[in-house]
Chain A
Amino acid sequence: MAEPEAAVETAEAPKKPVDPDFEPEIIVFACHYCAYAAADLAGSMRLQYPSNIRMIKLPCTGKLEVIHLLRAIEAGADGVYAAGCLEGECHYLKGNLWARKRVNHVKELLAELGIEPERVEIYNMSSAMGAKFAEVATEFTQRIKELGPNPVRREGVSPHAAAREALGGVAMPDEADSSAATAEEGSAE
């Protein structure tokens, strides 16, 4: 599988030993049309992938803005990635291409802040690529384990909640949320 190109080259840092107890918290901004469905498929296929990732569903990765990625890092997320449709296959034509530019810009901002740009990434996959979803989740989690914790750790702050809050109405309810909403509606009747 081809790795997406990183926009920013960083100096080779000496490799730190991986802390076996470090469980990174990773935020995934997943497109409703591809990666989110690919995650479902990975589940149906009973594929194993790390439980470190927390997903936020978007109508398109094109809705993702620089501040959304930064807010996740600011709230202490150890890694953040966007998972959008294959290039050329975006449901909204170019949303994933916009997202790639923004992710690359955030890499530049992080480098300026002295934080490893590799903590943010973008991947492309189709809804039929359950195996790729699991592979990307595994590979990215391993990358972040090697990088170690985000130097911005904030006690009592949930990166997932902060990223969701930053997105406001852009984030779509995930399956658990929507079933809860349905239950509430049901009880109201």
Chain B
Amino acid sequence: MITAERKPLDEILELVGDKKKILVAGCDTCVAICLTGGEKEAEILASELRILAEKDGRAVEVEHTAAIRQCEWEYLDMIAEKVEAADVVLSLACGIGIQSLAEKFAPQLVMPAVNTNMLGMPQEHAVWLERCVACGECRIGLTGGICPVVRCSKSLMNGPCGGSHDGLCEVTTPEKEEIECAWALIWERLKAQGREELMFTERPPKNWSKSSSGGPRKMVREEAKPV
């Protein structure tokens, strides 16, 4: 799913500026599941903003709402009235949701209250691990179901670098946790599948123009478009 983390309060306050009527808009899909931007979290942020305003003696009006999905026009219709009545909308949705809201209600001010950070897999309750970067050309059929683009720190496509030791990467996470070497994992998985020869198969270079490096992407399903 798409995961996001809430921005620090100071940054949010700077984005809101001196606007008096604030709407905190959550999204009840991906960001709700990652406990960052659902209706509950929208209510918490709204309460925080009211507490701060009351404490500082500023007269602001803060409301909250949530769309079932902020990235779909139909669901945005359901919160239209509140969005249009606000001076600024603080969206807790992912980057897609925030932009959909901003586009649908342009020129309404829509500000991000979160940083969208990854396409993550919930490893356990309240822990997410990055598993995909939507590169547009999936190769995990050749790598035992383990993505080297996202799980190798250098996104190497043809085996490990010299920094792989005892199954670990030479890079650590920003939290200084160890990272497993994706290519060591791939080797072990392919061995378990009896497909080690895949490691020695020549592969054509990956087409990165299908990733975000090739400019904004667009997908059209002609057979499904309304007639």
Give chain A's interface residues, CB within 8 Å of chain B: 65-67, 70-71, 73-74, 109, 112-115, 151-152, 154
Main SS at interface, chain A: helix
Q: With A71-B47, A74-B47, A112-B9 in contact, do A152 and B55 touch (Cβ < 8 Å)?
A: yes
Q: Is there contact, CB below 8 Å, between B40 and A109?
A: no
- A/B interface sample: 19 pairs, CB < 8 A: A65-B40, A66-B40, A66-B44, A67-B40, A67-B44, A70-B44, A74-B47, A74-B51, A74-B54, A109-B48, A112-B8, A112-B9, A112-B48, A113-B9, A113-B51, A114-B52, A151-B54, A152-B51, A154-B54
Q: Which residues of A contact B52 (CB under 8 A)?
A: 113-114
Minimal beta-carbon separation of A49 from chain B (angstroms) = 28
B43 contacts the other chain (Cβ, under 8 Å)? yes
Known contacts A66-B40, A113-B52; 5 additional CB pairs below 8 A are A70-B51, A112-B48, A113-B9, A152-B51, A152-B55
Main SS at interface, chain B: helix
B50 contacts the other chain (Cβ, under 8 Å)? yes
Expressed in whole angstroms, the Cα–Cα distance for A71 and B51 within the complex equals 9
Minimal beta-carbon separation of B95 from chain A (angstroms) = 24
Smallest CB-CB separation from B55: which chain A residue?
A: A151
Q: Is there contact, CB below 8 Å, between B44 and A115?
A: no
Q: Which residues of B contact A114 (CB under 8 A)?
A: 52, 55
Expressed in whole angstroms, the Cα–Cα distance for A70 and B9 within the complex equals 15
Chain B 1-56 interface residues, beta-carbon cutoff 8 Å to A:
8-9, 40, 43-44, 47-48, 50-52, 54-55
Expressed in whole angstroms, the Cα–Cα distance for A112 and B9 within the complex equals 7
Q: Which residues of A contact B54 (CB under 8 A)?
A: 74, 151-152, 154
Q: With A74-B54, A151-B55, A154-B54 in contact, do A113 and B40 touch (Cβ < 8 Å)?
A: no
Smallest CB-CB separation from A105: which chain B residue?
A: B44
Q: Which residues of A contact B43 (CB under 8 A)?
A: 67
Smallest CB-CB separation from B54: which chain A residue?
A: A152
Minimal beta-carbon separation of A60 from chain B (angstroms) = 18
Q: Which residues of A contact B8 (CB under 8 A)?
A: 112
Q: Which residues of A contact B48 (CB under 8 A)?
A: 70, 109, 112-113
Smallest CB-CB separation from A71: which chain B residue?
A: B47
Minimal beta-carbon separation of B9 from chain A (angstroms) = 5
Q: Which residues of A contact B47 (CB under 8 A)?
A: 67, 70-71, 74
